[in-house]
Chain A
């Protein structure tokens, strides 16, 4: 696969030099690259493969002629048990729903913002450029706490809506609870993912020539048409990367659903934590593998989009 991807951009200098297979250089390079590659292999790849193996080839103790031994049998029991349990099935389906919703809302929020930042200049834009980066610097656990301070019943927004009479006019005098439910997770995830999404889409928009937009406007294209036929297609690669990162980020999240999500159904991250605490290690592993599987579908887009990137 690697051979079919063209990742290299040979500069004029590189073109002159004849590259032969240099054994010594290869050896040194491999030695230098080895430590993080080993880390990647041992701490990320091995546990992931091990989780797949352990959940499919389940270990159990067999007593044979009075001698205890551990055997593995191939079975889908771990997964059928997860799927047949309505609590964990609902949790998986709920996680998918929340993840998709969050990503959609995120893009509805970030595309206009990124376009605004790209095509307007001035004081206000520079303020918003900084604002859009702030969530990057705030740990998720603090995000959750800040959301509680702002959105929880009896807190700031509630008081503000009472004072301005919005609650009385539109919500029958009752505060529409915005956190400790799905809305809370979606808002938290959107908040957390704004910087990376805006940065990625912004990088894509930055590569678009102004003349292209102007010529489209000159022949009478409106903003919607410009977006659909110029901006969106030309930022598709970055948007795919942003989409995959956000999707996987939400799916693999714990803090936000744990602290400002609903009690039931829990998102799959919270469910895994519950299983670990109840010593249901195998079930937790099975759930982890399921999230890997879902992420793999999205990860294909991510890797494909990255592979198309040209880097030196």
Chain B
């Protein structure tokens, strides 16, 4: 690629700029800088990879270490016994049950609450539609912990503190946005001519919805429901304020794990908590693939 250079006398020359290093030719110089850039690029990429993955990998090693003294980089002996140990800790099974229960209830409530709205946003043009959609997106721009703190006053008033319903409501806060957004996009993308064909063939409006619209939107709805389940399963901050000391979900056990469990037990528990999320999200990704579902609506 030619470069255009204006020299001091105002003449325009083409070709690479003359280099300051007299002894080295431009060819060698360019090769040198290319090698340096390439090495730099690899260092930066490796650092990025280690930054993202390193902590997770080391935590995974913790969960299987039998013997790991301070002066060796990796465990010298391996074991699975931490996994059975964790199951025998007090309160773990209760926490797992409670977590699965709340996540399921949150998922169902959020679906029931939001699905009709998603359909309405996608299919009806009503006054205030854009403003309401914007309002839902704007609710995303609340500082979460401040929001939870302000919700507490309401919860004290209506007796939602340290109750199952309180946990469910506080966990639903995070699910609202994508539970509307993802199905709404799906309803919008359905080819209307299919529905019209069903109507022409004598199918009722409700029948068309049940037989055409809903099945076509099903993958997106499933993705949204899985995301809601995972969001509820992983929610710790609101649950901490509302649930403790009575209700301890899995993420709340993690707070104890940081302080009072052995490193390995904490790591096992952390892995146990992230496995369902990773599995469900992989499934969600799989369902979303090729269907044009944007998991992150606001792009």
Contacts and interface: CB of A to CB of B under 8 A. Distances in A.
Contacts of B52: 131-132, 134-135, 191, 194
Contacts of A159: 70-73
Interface residues of A, number: 108
A274 to B, nearest CB: 11
B116 interface: yes
Interface in B256-297: 257-258, 263, 266-267, 270, 273-274, 277-278, 281, 296
Chain A CB count within 10 A is highest, among B145, B237, B240, for B145
Contact of A113 (B48, B59, B138): B48
Contacts of A51: 149-150, 153
B49 A131 contact: yes
Contacts, number: 267
A44 B173 contact: yes
A134 B55 CA distance: 12
B53 A50 contact: no
A-B interface, 6 closest residue pairs, ranked by CB to CB distance from nearest: A252-B143, A146-B55, A288-B146, A139-B234, A32-B120, A29-B124
A108 to B, nearest CB: 12
Interface in A1-19: 1-2, 5, 7-8, 13, 19
Nearest to B170: A43
Given A50-B153, A199-B296, A203-B299, A2 B143 contact: no
A88 to B, nearest CB: 14
B58 to A, nearest CB: 5
Interface string B1-40: 1011000000000000000000000000000000000000
Q: How large is the interface on B (under 10, 10 to 19, 20 to 34, 35 or more residues)?
A: 35 or more
Contact of A43 (B71, B131, B151): B151
A47 B236 contact: no
B152 A276 contact: yes
Interface string A24-62: 011011111111110110111011101100100000000
Nearest to B279: A137
A107 to B, nearest CB: 14
Contacts of B134: 2, 5, 7, 303, 306-307
Contacts of B203: none
B112, B147, B274 — which one has the most chain A CB atoms within 10 A of its CB?
B147
B70 A128 contact: no
A163 interface: yes
A287 to B, nearest CB: 7
B255 A141 contact: yes
Contacts of B152: 276, 281, 284
A294 B273 CA distance: 33
B28 to A, nearest CB: 21
Contacts of A187: 51
